[in-house]
A and B are shown apart, each in its own frame.
Chain A
Amino acid sequence: MMKEKVKLLFVMLFAVAVLAACSFSNPEENTSSENGGTSFKNEIKIGLDVDATKLDTRLASDSSSKRVTEVVYNGLIRLNTNLEPTPDLAESWENPDELTWIFNLREGVKFHDGEVLTAEDVKYTFDTILDPAFQSNSLALFSPIKSVEIVDDYKVQFNLSQAYAPLLSYLEIGIVPKHIAEVDSESLITKPIGTGPYKFDSWDKNSKIVLTANKEYYAGTPKTEKLTYFIIPDNSTRVASLESGDIDFIHSPLSASDVERMRGNNDFITEEKEGVGYTYLNFNMKNEKTADLKVRQAISHLIDKETISSAIYRGMDKPAKSPLVPSSWAYSDDVPDFEYSPEKAKELLKEAGYEDTNGDGIVDKNGVNLEIELATHTEDPNRIQVVEYLQNEFSKNGIKTRVTTTEWSTFSNNMMEGKYEVALLGWLNLFDPDRATYNQFHSSSGNNYGKYNNPKVDALLEEGRENSEQAKRKEIYKEVATIVNEEVAYNVLLYQGYVVIHSKKLIGFESSPNGSFYSMVNVQVEN
Chain B
Amino acid sequence: MKKIMNKLLQLILVLLGITILVFSLLYLIPGDPAVTLLGQDATQEEINRFKEQMGLNASYLEQLTKYIAGVVQGDLGKSYIQNESVVDIVLSTLPATLELAIVALIIALLIAIPIGILSAVKRGTWIDYLGMIFAQIGVSMPVFWLGLLLILGFSIHLNILPSFGRGDPVVEALLKTITTGNLYYIFESLKYLILPALALGLMSAAFITRMVRAAMLEVLQMDYVRTADAKGVSDSIIILKHAFRNALIPIVTIIGLQFGNLLGGAIVTETIFAWPGVGRLIITAISQRDFTVVQGGVLVIAFLFAIINLIVDVLYTLINPRIRS
Contact = CB atoms under 8 A, between A and B. Distances in A.
A38 interface: no
B43 A140 contact: yes
Interface stretch (A77-85, A357-365, A402-410): A402-410
A61, A232, A409: most-surrounded residue (chain B CB, <10 A): A409
B33 interface: yes
Given A50-B284, A233-B280, A413 B42 contact: no
Interface string B29-53: 1111101101111111110011000
B130 interface: no
Interface stretch (B147-155, B238-246, B314-322): B147-155
B155 A240 contact: yes
B182 A24 contact: yes
Given A237-B148, A237-B164, A244-B155, A413 B31 contact: yes
Contacts of A25: 182, 184
A207 B166 contact: yes
A53 B274 contact: no
A246 interface: yes
Contacts of A412: 35-36, 40
Contacts of A137: 38-39, 41-42
B288 A410 contact: no
Contact of A233 (B81, B92, B93, B271): B271
A140 B41 contact: yes
A232 B187 CA distance: 22
Interface string B164-186: 11100000000001001111100
Nearest to A379: B287
Nearest to A412: B35
A232 B31 contact: no
How many chain A residues sit at the interface, stated as a range, is: 35 or more
B24 interface: no
B30 A206 contact: no
A51 B284 contact: yes
A266 interface: no
B168 to A, nearest CB: 11
A446 B42 CA distance: 9
A139 B49 CA distance: 14
A189 B83 contact: yes
Given A53-B288, A233-B274, A240 B156 contact: yes
Contacts of B274: 207, 230-234, 237
B281 interface: yes
B213 interface: no
B264 interface: no
B39 A139 contact: no
A206 B273 CA distance: 12
B199 to A, nearest CB: 11
Interface string B78-109: 00011100000100110000000000000000
B289 interface: yes
Contact of A232 (B42, B44, B164): B164
Contact of B36 (A205, A231, A233, A408): A408
Interface string A197-233: 0000000111110000000000000000000001111
A247 to B, nearest CB: 8
Nearest to A409: B31
Query: Which of B41, B46, B156 has the most chain A CB within a 10 Å cutoff?
Result: B41
A413 B35 contact: yes
A132 B49 contact: yes
Contacts of A232: 164-165, 274
A416 interface: yes
A447 interface: yes
B311 to A, nearest CB: 28
B42 to A, nearest CB: 7
B39 A244 contact: no
B283 interface: yes
A21 B40 contact: no
A23 interface: yes
Nearest to B277: A206
Contacts of B258: none
Given A246-B163, A409-B30, A204 B276 contact: yes
A520 to B, nearest CB: 20
Nearest to A232: B274
A410 B165 contact: no
Contacts of A208: 165
Nearest to A428: B40
Contacts of B281: 206
B57 interface: no
A236 interface: yes
Contacts of B38: 135, 137
B165 A230 contact: yes
A132 B288 CA distance: 22
Top 7 nearest A-B pairs (CB, nearest first) are: A409-B31, A244-B155, A207-B276, A206-B276, A410-B30, A232-B274, A241-B163
Given A233-B280, A244-B156, A409-B36, 16 more contacts: A24-B183, A25-B182, A25-B184, A27-B184, A61-B39, A231-B276, A234-B144, A234-B274, A237-B272, A240-B148, A241-B164, A409-B32, A409-B35, A409-B289, A410-B31, A413-B31
5 contacts: A189-B82, A205-B89, A205-B93, A237-B163, A447-B40
Interface of A: 19, 21-27, 50-51, 53-54, 61, 132-133, 135, 137, 139-141, 186, 189, 204-208, 230-234, 236-238, 240-241, 243-246, 379, 406-410, 412-413, 416, 427, 439, 446-447
